Amino acid sequence: MNGWQTLLYKEILRFWKVSFQTVAAPVLTAVLYLMVFGHVLDQRVQVHEGVSYTAFLIPGLVMMSVLQNAFANSSSSLIQSKIMGNLVFLLLTPLSHRAWFVAYVGSSLVRGLAVGLGVFVVTLIFAVPPFVAPLWIIVFAVLGASMLGSLGLIAGLWAEKFDQMAAFQNFVIMPMTFLSGVFYSIHSLPPFWQQVSHLNPFFYMIDGFRYGFFGVSDVSPWLSLTLVGGAWLLVSGIALHLLRIGYKIRS
């Protein structure tokens, strides 16, 4: 294996060796959300005609799990290496900033998709959503995981201690995922909050992903794809630039 492949393998092995914590625990959390919200609201809420609320909820929970775990993978790996001091061993290698990016984001993509697949398989016990456009499901899952992996890389470079990383996750990632339409359609919101939701890039990831299952969405899937793709390019570009200049890792 060459350099980036070795680093990618190391990063995948890092989370897989503790898969009970990094994969099984997020799956359990998502299933608990489904059990609680599905049980309480299944007979009271119908977002799309002919689709139960439990079935509507499954794609949102899958995508939320993908995004949160992709972010957690790259951010936690980098901040742990910085604090423990073993990042210096990577800095001594001839790996380029592109190799770092591919390895960290690639492993985040693997973890995010692994957790998302686990959530989906387990939630099939409760409801089986249709697959109207499977290609849209794959595209948005990969784009979303890649974007959050890149964002986690930025957060890991910026943070100097675990408190800062926790603040970034609690005040940025969590609100944006929970307020992205995971548990509801934005058409059920007052006009002001609908407009606010349209400023949240996570909303377009969830909405486009859900379109792949039901063939209906709050906005055009092409609009979602354009905005998510643009956001991915922007975040990836920033992450690559920060790695190239050695932001907070070479000083």
Q: Which residue has the higher pLDDT, 221 or 182?
A: 221
Query: What pLDDT band is residue 43 in, cutting at 50, 70 and 90?
Result: low
Q: What is the mean pLDDT of residues 64-80?
A: 95
| pLDDT confidence of residue 85 | 85
| pLDDT confidence of residue 47 | 67
Q: What is the mean pLDDT of the chain?
A: 90
Q: Which residue has the higher pLDDT, 105 or 84?
A: 105
Q: What is the mean pLDDT of residues 53-73?
A: 93
0.75 surpassed by pTM: yes
Query: What pLDDT band is residue 1 in, cutting at 50, 70 and 90?
Result: low
Q: What is the mean pLDDT of residues 167-185?
A: 88
- For residue 71, pLDDT over 90 is answered with yes
3-state percent breakdown (helix, strand, coil) of the chain, nearest 5: 75, 0, 25
What percent of the chain is modeled with pLDDT above 90? 65
Residues 6+ apart with CB under 8 A from 67: 112, 144, 145, 148, 173, 177, 202, 205
The Cα–Cα gap between 62 and 40 comes to 19
Using the structure block, give the residue that is written with the tokens 């387990």.
122
The Cα–Cα gap between 155 and 29 comes to 24
Query: What pLDDT band is residue 110 in, cutting at 50, 70 and 90?
Result: very high
Q: At what angle do helices 53-84 and 134-158 cross, to 10 degrees?
A: 30
